[in-house]
Homo-oligomer: A and B are copies of this chain.
């Protein structure tokens, strides 16, 4: 295949320019952070800038009823379904300049290259900006892609309010980004999303490109452990029934199980509360959250079984009562084989010596929902120190360039297949 090349300076400068909208100065951050919550005035400024750049290339804009933006460059046969790429322009309250933004601007850079070199593809290519990916202003996350994929109902999402009581629908009207009254039936041949990793794996391996084979399945639980509280003084250690001592053993063993279960296993105890806690009273009750993740459904089931067995065994040993409640779950999301092969080919052609690492994303992305209605895969570049949702988030210009080149050649491959 012919290999095309992005303009790395233009890509970097565009990311930096759009990052000025909501820019935050932070000590220890190489390029500063970004505060640009979904559907605020700053988000509109970023959208306007982005749309202006795309229109300058001759792209057409379509906005769906949830405010997702589709910027289209026509192909030779516009009756064919478009290839899509994109991500989001909103950030966390103390977010960085790359999460989401990179995927949108690398898509734009791909269109700029094609236009500059006057390359025609068979299929149209669309760069998408999904609404409210972060979930920082309107909950839950990934509302735009969720409505697009039929996971959420349009009217429910339009009625969703932020903490100030303003609805998402009101904000779309106010900002003028709600141009149609219904969400289109998704028309997408293949969807590719380029993103920073948000974790430390690629950096640890010193590999500049990751091919994302899917997203981990996730299950959340609330675990309640009941023993008996007693005064810290009069009760000898051997006559206690301390719920926290049992829970400590559970945390140690659960995290060990995940460390040894499979390469994709994750076990996180993020929240822990002792009701009526007091320095001189041993814990009668402890509640903690449990977040289990695995790449395949059978592995997730097995991880859950092992975790539950461990909790019950330790509780029995310490004479504690146990309650476990599942509060949320998402099945594992394997990405499309054909899309993955396209990325591999594009990477091999662009960077024959790179040897990309195939990994499973532990975090959700718009691609998870899009994959329910179109063949989908993702590309990762490293995040320095594994940071994201953080003002110190950083990926080097060279790494951004490699990811963008792979995306560009993947899009060409995909858009020329029929």
Contacts and interface: CB of A to CB of B under 8 A. Distances in A.
Interface string A259-302: 10001011111111010011111110000010101000000000
B279 A231 contact: no
A234 interface: yes
A289 B232 CA distance: 12
A361 interface: yes
A362 B234 contact: yes
A268 B251 contact: no
B270 A235 contact: no
B231 A198 contact: yes
Interface string A159-196: 00000000000000000000000000000000000000
Contacts of A397: none
Contacts of A279: 220, 268, 270-271, 289, 291
Most buried by B among A237, A251, A259: A237
Number of copies: 2
A265 B249 contact: no
Give the bracket for the number of chain A residues in contact with chain B.
35 or more
A386 interface: yes
A47 to B, nearest CB: 26
A236 B201 contact: yes
A328 to B, nearest CB: 8
A197 interface: yes
Nearest to A196: B234
Nearest to A280: B291
Contact of A255 (B242, B272, B278, B293): B242
Interface string A236-266: 1111001011011111100100110001011
A199 B237 CA distance: 11
Contacts of A280: 220, 268, 270, 291
Nearest to A253: B248
A389 interface: yes
A100 to B, nearest CB: 15
B252 A237 contact: no
Contact of A199 (B234, B245, B250, B386): B234
Contacts of A151: none
A161 B268 CA distance: 44
Contacts of A258: 237
B269 A244 contact: yes
A267 B237 contact: yes
A329 to B, nearest CB: 12
A26 interface: no
Contacts of A281: 268, 270
A166 to B, nearest CB: 24
A28 interface: no
Contacts of A200: 230, 234-236, 239
A352 interface: no
Nearest to A251: B248
A201 B238 CA distance: 10
A262 B242 CA distance: 19
Contact of A277 (B199, B233, B251, B270): B270
Given A204-B239, A231-B362, 18 more contacts: A199-B231, A199-B233, A199-B236, A200-B239, A201-B239, A220-B280, A231-B363, A231-B388, A234-B386, A236-B263, A237-B258, A242-B268, A244-B269, A244-B272, A245-B251, A247-B248, A248-B248, A268-B280
Interface of A: 197-201, 204, 216, 218, 220, 230-239, 242, 244-245, 247-252, 255, 258-259, 263, 265-272, 274, 277-283, 289, 291, 293, 361-364, 386, 388-389
The 8 closest A-B pairs by CB, nearest first: A199-B234, A233-B362, A248-B251, A232-B268, A237-B259, A234-B362, A233-B363, A248-B248
